[in-house]
Amino acid sequence: MVLTGRVSPAPEGLWNRRAKPMNFIDHARQAREVEVVGLLEAVCQSLEPTSSQTSLAKQRYEGVGTWLAKSDDPVLRSITVYLQGSTAIGTVVRPIGFNEFDVDLVAHVPDLDVQLSPAAQKKALGDRLRANGNYVSLLEEMARCWRLNYAGEFHMDITPSIPNPKCRFGGELVPDKALKRWNPSNPKGYRRMFEERAKLVPVIRIRKHIAADSLGANVEPYPQAIAFKGILRRIVQIAKRHRDTLFIDRMDVAPLSVIITTLASRSYEWCVRNREYDNELELVLDVIQHMPDSIDTCEVDGVLQWFIWNETTAGENFAEKWNQRPERAERFYTWHARFCANIAALPTIRGIDRLGEKLTDLFGQKPASEAIGKIVDRVSDARTTGNLRVAPKVGLTVTAAAAAAGSTPVRSNTFFGS
């Protein structure tokens, strides 16, 4: 068996900056890239649950967990309930056209063996939920889990699980969709792995460049940076939202969130451990570009097969559906190439209106409007307070000082762009 790899081509012009001498600084491009980071951060903020939604979800989650834990059914003895998926790792994205979020839970019974059938444990879980009058009208049976639908708020999927004695990483077993067998999984191990990668701190050289800038230490040549609140999590969020807009009418073949999350986290770890970057956007672009690198492929009886293994347990292939429907693999590579090109093109777009239109195409009307609105408000406030200036080689910049040497103040005006 020969393993092969497949990598999407880099968008034109994406990497040629690295061929330039270390002392070369394209000030204008650096400024635009820093602003794009701020826009993408604002987009991500608009896609997350509000504080009230988060508080309510926590309250509902704790209520369900307490109710299940009080069961006297021997099948549910010692049950523990915990979060898994995007809610657990902080990469939630609001579905397009809905206010409801997914909240995924695991109902784990630690002292059962694999002789208990998935169907039996799922039935016990459903019976316990039905015994609570508050849940009866909310309950919906899914293939391998139970769903509580809180209309207009979120839906909560509760998947049963038992220990996996064969997993040296403390993994679990969850039902397959036919409820015929237990499949390996490891939600807690996956969460720990993602969180450890998210903690990795990249080397960003932008401050070194500013310090060495020949324009002089009194001139701030870049807009005030709005940094990502967790670069890896933001990469996953913008990737998932971009996927949702591209596949809005064909979500049945859209790349799975777990695949996007897994490939992004692996790529992020490699990039952070092996490279340095001029700014956060360069890191984002590099991580996106290298996402497919860890996909394994091989030919079996002349048919190409794909493998994205769960590193925290043996036997779970996140790309299993690709091998059942090869069009899913092709759709992933098509999406990935477009995602690379679209994000790389953002710093080249001139004009707030055109940038707003592009962000709408990529992420939807509401996130784009909120992101552009924050930039407009920031510039308007800076103009009013006298902190909007023109710096040599850069253009407009929002500075902390009211009179940075070497830059020219922009006159106050209540009409943005006048």
What's the mean pLDDT in 361-375? 91
- How far is it, in rounded angstroms, from Cα 184 to Cα 171? 7
Residue 22 pLDDT > 80, yes or no?
Answer: no
Q: Give the Å distances, CA to CA, from 393 to 28, 134, 213, 216, 397.
A: 6, 64, 11, 13, 11
User: Quick one: pLDDT at residue 2?
Assistant: 35
Query: Which ranges in 247-319 belong to alpha helices (H)?
Result: 257-274, 280-289
What are the pLDDT digits (tens) for 156-184? Answer: 999 999 999 999 999 999 999 999 999 99
Q: How many residues does the chain have?
A: 418
User: Quick one: pLDDT at residue 212?
Assistant: 39
- How far is it, in rounded angstroms, from Cα 261 to Cα 194? 9
User: Quick one: pLDDT at residue 378?
Assistant: 66
Query: Which ranges in 181-230 belong to alpha helices (H)?
Result: 187-198, 206-211
Residue 415 pLDDT > 60, yes or no?
Answer: no
The radius of gyration computed from the CA coordinates of the chain, to the nearest angstrom, equals: 25
User: Mean pLDDT for the chain?
Assistant: 83
| % of the chain at pLDDT higher than 90 | 63
What's the mean pLDDT in 391-414? 42
Q: Which residues are registered as beta bridge partners of 407?
A: none
> Of residues 390 and 366, which shows the higher confidence score?
366
User: Quick one: pLDDT at residue 74?
Assistant: 87
Are residues 267 and 81 in contact, defined by beta-carbon separation less than 8 angstroms?
no
Of 38, 12, 21, the C-alpha closest to 284 is: 38
Are residues 399 and 387 in contact, defined by beta-carbon separation less than 8 angstroms?
yes
Locus of tokens 């999984």 = 185
What's the mean pLDDT in 243-269? 95
Residue 284, amino acid: V
User: Quick one: pLDDT at residue 116?
Assistant: 83
Element (H, E) at 276: strand 276-277
What are the pLDDT digits (tens) for 324-349? Answer: 999 999 999 999 999 999 999 999 99
Which two structure tokens, joined as six digits, stand for 47? 């896609």
User: Quick one: pLDDT at residue 50?
Assistant: 87
- What domains are there in the chain, each with its CATH number? 16-49+196-381 (no CATH), 54-185 (3.30.460.90)
What's the mean pLDDT in 203-231? 55
- How far is it, in rounded angstroms, from Cα 48 to Cα 94? 6
Task: List the single range of 15-19, 108-112, 283-287, 379-383 with lowest mean pLDDT.
Answer: 15-19
* Environment class of 67 (CB within 10 Å of its CB; exposed 0-12, middle 13-18, buried 19+): middle
- DSSP secondary structure of 113-156: -TTS-HHHHHHHHHHHHHTSHHHHTTEEE-SSSEEEEETTTEEE
- How far is it, in rounded angstroms, from Cα 321 to Cα 329? 9
Are residues 310 and 186 in contact, defined by beta-carbon separation less than 8 angstroms?
yes
Locus of tokens 């080689």 = 393
For residue 80, the Cα-to-chain-centroid distance in whole angstroms is: 27
Task: List the single range of 64-68, 270-274, 393-397 with lowest mean pLDDT.
Answer: 393-397
What are the pLDDT digits (tens) for 84-124? Answer: 999 999 999 988 877 678 999 999 998 766 678 999 999 99
> Of residues 247 and 405, which shows the higher confidence score?
247
Are residues 372 and 355 in contact, defined by beta-carbon separation less than 8 angstroms?
yes
Quick check: helix, strand or coil at residue 400? coil
